[in-house]
Amino acid sequence: MNEAARTWGPVVVATALLPLAFVVLRACLPPIGGAPPPLEPNPPEVRGGEVRGGEVRGGEVRGSERCAGCHADAAAAWGRSTHARAERPLGPDDPSSAGALVASGPQGIERAFEPVRVIGADPLWQYLIPFDGGRLQVSQAAWDPAAGEWFDVFGDDRAAGEWGHWTGGAMTWNSQCASCHSTEVHKGYDADMDRYDTSVLEHRVGCTACHGAAPEHLRGGAAPILAPDRIDDVCASCHARRAELTGAFEPGERFLDHFAPSLVDRSDTFWPDGQVRAEDFEYTAFIGSKMHAAGVRCVDCHDPHTAALVRSGDALCLGCHQVLPGFAPHDPHPEGAQPGIGCVGCHMPITVYMQRDPRHDHGFVVPDPRPSTAGGPDVCTRCHTERDASWAEAEAEAWWGDLAGPRRARAERMLGALAGDEGVVAPLLQQLASDPIGAWRASAAAGLEAFLDRAPVRLALIEALQDPDPHVRFAVAGALGLAAADPRIADALHELLLDPVRAVRVAAARGVRSLHRPGDPAVADYQRYLERNADQPAALHELGSWHLEAGSPTEAVRVLRRAVRFDPGSAQLHDALAVALSVYGRPGDAAEQLRIAVELQRTDPELWYRLALAEAGVGDLQAATAALRRTLELDGSHARAWYNLGLIAGRQARPAEALEALRRAVEAAPRDPEIRYGLASTLWQQGEHRGAVDEARAVLRLDPDHQGAQAILAQ
């Protein structure tokens, strides 16, 4: 079971606020998860290399049994793979205690549950437990067959009712696991009934999962059943952190026509240098590697049927990378210093997921301790845990010399984007224009999202929509969608609605969803994507915000209430519902949702700021003042918090406090004409006319048509 739903992120919607009032605008939301599902008939079984089972559809035997009749050797090899054992019925190898797992249920009460199937092969097994609504939930307790013991896959406390609890949506097999543990999965989710009617061809990763149904091949055709240039698209369909756009991927089709991958961006999905961080699988790291850029593909290293390496240990790497015997000039570790360190120890470091599932990073990194000083993991100190990054950097430079290179530069740029450092704008623009690897040009586009208010950034991103790599166009469309109110950007995104790649079209449609022209097929694709993921709270978040933008607050409230019911522990969902309720005319309910949000996420200054506006909206200026002060404790340069604090102080006849707060607001945002006008009008009201005139003139330099400032000067 995946530790986290595969995601497309970040979703963008809803909430910049004017003084003391809610208005709909755009801000960052959580990413969208998506996947398919199953449950039903007598499943095929695998014993050694022998295939048994299959299924009859339309009078024709389908599935791996049909293939094994002619391809015995391939079937035998596949039968030994983890793919063939990805899911199975309970059997004699399962511990006797698996028949009645004791766990905390949906209401938090411990009781015994009876599993019906097993998911996973090596290194752990989890158990599938039936629930209402056609759901199968994946157990929190997992069995380690090598150690012969039970363990908790989470490693942390999760409360009943949370999305991430084993009874919650993040652990629902139908939507989170089945598409990659079974074959030809049809999720069958009914949003109105909130239930699943899931079907599969095989409860395992069978032949057609990678080769497709291949009807011509079955009729005796000699054509290859999978074009070599599309093999990696098949692998990526499961070995990527991605959102599912269609639920209809067929082997041989383009990955990006059915999935939206997570890329290296400003989220915490990957480390800034591209190393895996969350449960990211292999695809994104791999397409960002020099290996992939040089033409290496999955089957160059992995046997397509056993999924095992085609050569053992360092022999696999040395087939292409020749070094001197013993590695002495290349590797500072004495031979045999640590069993198994080899090439992959430094170039494919391991991250452990689900407590006991070690996975190699497929970015094929050149070890460089420097990025770790900025928050990323360092290969050296993963093993040398008693040392720090400074030691590792000194040792590495003593052995290999200056390690400055593309990885370090990319990491520093993304870290700068995260910090809002304008010094990285020019390097990011250069990376967007000239990085030889498309995935890193896409990453530059994601980093430039932080600087969309700059005209050169917008222009460069519009030009990058012509990039030949669809990953870049996909990332650029996502970035520009945050500024679609700009007519030039809206026009560029509308042109992108005709892009040949569906993921790009959907990203463009997402950006102009409130401006779309009737009949745009890409907008219909986007809507189908949201409908397909209607069992995911983040998709409901996005759908609700779309309803709000379209002027349907009633529908927005309905959808967002459902999202909150799915994931009551999400502060972002309560925040989004508050925006919808405010537009709907329910300010008291909006304030209550924001009170819940700040309790869930007490260190987010934006949530406290929005709570302050909501409290002011219901007339509680004391509570609003307290929330604004909390905002400023968390972010002392929050210009709008200072501004609203000044307005409240002025309204409550505290003139000195009002002027102090408004001056702090101007200091934090000197180019905001509304904030400067707030100071000008307050100065005028307090009889400080000279200062008011000076500020009014400053406002008019920023906005020559500002009527309020003109009125002050006219007096």
Q: What pLDDT shows up at residue 519?
A: 72
In angstroms, rounded to a whole number, what is the distance separating the alpha carbons of residues 549 and 587? 18
Residue 56 structure tokens: 């009859």
Q: Looking at residue 13, what is its pLDDT?
A: 27
For helices 673-685 and 707-714, angle between their N-to-C axes, nearest 10 degrees: 30
Could you tell me whether strands 135-144 and 350-353 are parallel, antiparallel, or unpaired per DSSP bridges? unpaired
3-state secondary structure 602-637: CCCHHHHHHHHHHHHHCCCHHHHHHHHHHHHHHCCC
**What pLDDT was estimated at residue 331?**
73
Positive or negative, the Cα torsion across 484, 490, 492, 498?
positive
User: Is pLDDT of 56 > 90?
Assistant: no
Reported confidence tier of residue 61, pLDDT bands at 50, 70, 90? low
State the average pLDDT over residues 678-702: 96
- What is the distance between the alpha carbons of residues 218 and 69, in angstroms, rounded to a whole number? 11
The tokens for 176 are 């989170």
Task: Find the helix or strand (DSSP H, E) in which 713 lies.
Answer: helix 707-714
CA distance 181 to 179: 6
Tokens 């689900």 label which residue?
A: 354
DSSP 8-state code for residue 183: B
> Collapsing DSSP states into helix, strand and coil, what is residue 311?
coil
The pLDDT value recorded for residue 340 is: 58
Give dist(CA 702, CA 710) in Å, integer.
Answer: 12
Top pLDDT among 222 and 81 is at 81
- Ranges assigned E (strand) in 342-388: 350-353, 357-360
Burial of 484 (0-12, 13-18, 19+ CB in 10 A): buried
Q: How far apart are CA 418 and CA 433, in angstroms?
A: 20
> Which tokens in the block code for residue 68?
């094994």
pLDDT in tens, 302-339: 999 999 999 998 899 989 987 654 455 677 777 666 65
pLDDT above 90 (res 113): yes
Residue with the two structure tokens 């939507």? 175
Over the stretch 387-438, which tens digit does the pLDDT of each residue have? 988 898 898 888 888 888 899 999 999 999 999 999 999 999 999 999 999 9
Q: How large is the average pLDDT for residues 269-273?
A: 94
pLDDT of 526-584, one tens digit each?
Answer: 999 999 999 999 999 999 999 999 999 999 999 999 999 999 999 999 999 999 999 99
**Of 640, 651, 669, which Cα lies nearest the Cα of 25?**
640
CB 95 within 8 A of CB 211: no
Q: Where are the alpha helices (DSSP H) in 23-93?
A: 64-68, 72-79
Contact predicate 567/60, CB 8 Å: no
Of the candidates 187, 185, 182, 198, the one whose C-alpha atom is nearest the C-alpha of residue 120 is 182
Per-residue pLDDT reduced to its tens digit, 238-262: 999 999 999 999 999 999 999 999 9
Single out the residue of 295, 207, 280 nearest to residue 239, CA to CA. Answer: 280
Among the listed residues 518, 472, 470, 517, the one whose alpha carbon sits nearest the alpha carbon of residue 494: 517
Contact 482/509 with Cβ under 8 angstroms?
no
pLDDT digits (tens, 9 = 90+) for 132-161: 999 999 999 999 999 999 999 998 888 899
The three-state DSSP-derived secondary structure of 100-142 is HEEEECCCCCEEEECCCEEECCCCCEEEEEEEHHHEEEEEEEE
Start-to-end CA span in the chain (Å): 70
- Rounded Cα distance between 290 and 287, Å, is 8
Task: Give the pLDDT score at 337.
Answer: 62
Residue 56 backbone zone (phi > 0: left; psi -120 to 50: alpha; other: beta): beta
